[in-house]
Amino acid sequence: RRTPRTLSEDEVAALVAACERGRDRLLLAVLAGTGMRIGEALGLRHEDWDAAECQVRVVPRDNDNRARSKSPVPRTIPVPPALVRSYADYLHEEYGDVDSDYVFVNLWAGRVGSPLGYAAVYDLVRRLRARTGIDFDPHWLRHTYATRLLRAEVPVEVVSLLLGHASVNTTTTTYAHLSVADTRVALVRAGLLTQDAS
């Protein structure tokens, strides 16, 4: 199995900052802050956001834009208040009176209010690659999220649940790519090595 590609925190911040629209910034922030697959994010409805509890629900359902959730089981992902504020800002500054259940919709081209599709996302990815010089794919944000959690010692069972994996084995197999530096940090933390590598 190939090692999943990840992005640094600086790269994620640069990509979000390079977005010209609040909708696009929110989309990248959702992918980076929840580990959702792109199809899950494109299928989000307003009812899936629980601002008071700072959480977002991923619900498998048929979507007009053909976006899909790979996992058949619904899941709830806790999110930071900053992400809820970004969602609220997007609704206030760009979404306005658009009549749609979908969170991510066409606002400036095509049929306004129709759910954003995969092609529009990959257009955005191409533009962001050109603007930032960062080679990335939306799925890398999912890998980055999972890797960050595992490096922060979040139990693999919790990471698996947050990602919507059918089995903890999927998570373990996919993210068994800890580097030598990660291994060294774990051994230092356990008192089995000293910090000085020399």
| Active site members | 37, 70, 139, 142, 165, 175
Residue pointed to by tokens 């095509």: 110
Q: In this structure, what token pair is assigned to residue 73?
A: 């089981």
Q: Torsions phi, psi of 145, nearest 5?
A: -60, -50
Q: How many CA atoms lie within 13 Å of 101's alpha carbon, on the beta-carbon side?
A: 10
Residue pointed to by tokens 């890797």: 147
**CB neighbour class for 121 (10 Å; exposed up to 12, middle 13-18, buried from 19):** buried
Pick the closest to residue 3 from 184, 135, 178, 148 (CA basis). 178
Conformational region of residue 153, where left means phi above 0, alpha means psi within -120 to 50, and beta covers everything else: left
H or E element that contains 181? helix 180-189
Q: Torsions phi, psi of 162, nearest 5?
A: -65, -35
| Alpha carbon distance 78, 195 (integer Å) | 34
